[in-house]
Amino acid sequence: MSVFVLVHGAWHGGWCWRKLVALLENAGHVVFAPDLPGHGEDRTPTSGVSFASYTERVCEAIDGASEPVILVGHSMAGAVISQAAENRPANVRMLVYVCAYLLRDGERLRDAARPGEVNRVTPNLVFSPDRSVMTVREDAIAGAFYADCCADDIAWAKPRLVPEATNVWRTPVRLTEGRFGRIPRVYIECLRDQAIPLGLQRRMCSEAPPIDVLSIDTDHSPFFSAPARLASLLLTIGEAARKPGNSGPAC
């Protein structure tokens, strides 16, 4: 048995993992899929949200586990799980980035994308007048996040998306080799991602190399478009993580 903590990305909530939670639990594992503050069922106002509060919520889930966890982050949550692992290095067995931001010490989410790395999110952001909150244009959501997803999943997900606090994207991660750096990490790239394009995923992996890079030929949301394949990869990762030395998956 492994304990998985699944952390959702921007605008989403723990609800996005529902198919994956069922598959992992049916395989005999323990799964936590917390809502970050201001997302899902959590009613924290956007004005009270911060990168620190995101990290603390994940640390609470880690602290509630019976053993060191496999910490999985999607998209924006890549930065959050990195910081949580820095804060709880003894309680994290493996880090898994699902088409997620893999940042280096001192980097911010807003720093990750560079000119020439085109995506379908940035040009479709809508900001509040004071630029403290951002959403994605409704007509761009399906193409950016759910290009390979079925119509029912898209219709179910869209009304559950919430505004995102921009201050989270301006906060740098603070990581050290002695804490975050000692935890094995695996990257799962999504080959047809329109939110974090493949070139950006691979550049981040080249700058902060994981122990392994696995691939899913799908969009930005494999928890909807390829849940069985994603579950299979996580189960293989979980099995490898429990072996002495945490040498990583043989996929």
Dump pLDDT digits (tens) for 63-85.
999 999 999 999 999 999 999 99
CATH code, domain with 178: 3.40.50.1820
Residues in the chain: 251
Cα angle, residue 152 at apex, residues 148 and 153 outer, rounded to 5°: 55
Give per-residue pLDDT as tens, 146-183: 999 999 999 999 999 999 999 999 999 999 999 999 99
Is 250 inside a domain boundary? no
Strand partners, 74: 98
Is 24 inside a domain boundary? yes
Sheet holding 164-165, edge to edge: 125-127, 133-136, 164-165
State which residues form the domain around 151.
Answer: 3-110+118-241
Is 70 inside a domain boundary? yes
Is 247 inside a domain boundary? no
Question: Residue 129 class from Cβ within 10 Å (0-12 exposed, 13-18 middle, 19+ buried)?
Answer: exposed
Bin 113: left if φ > 0, else alpha if -120 < ψ < 50, else beta. Answer: beta
The closest of 134, 174, 127, 191 to 10, measured between CA atoms, is 134
Q: Which helix (H) or strand (E) holds 189?
A: strand 185-190
Is 11 inside a domain boundary? yes
Is 249 inside a domain boundary? no
Q: 3-state class of 174 per DSSP?
A: coil
Is 251 inside a domain boundary? no
CB 120 within 8 A of CB 143: yes
Is 246 inside a domain boundary? no
Q: Would you place residue 58 in the very low, low, confident or very high pLDDT band (cuts 50, 70, 90)? A: very high
pTM: 0.96
Q: 3-state class of 2 per DSSP?
A: coil
Domain count for the chain, please give it. Answer: 1
DSSP state at residue 202: H
CB 175 within 8 A of CB 82: yes
Give per-residue pLDDT as tens, 4-40: 999 999 999 999 999 999 999 999 999 999 999 999 9
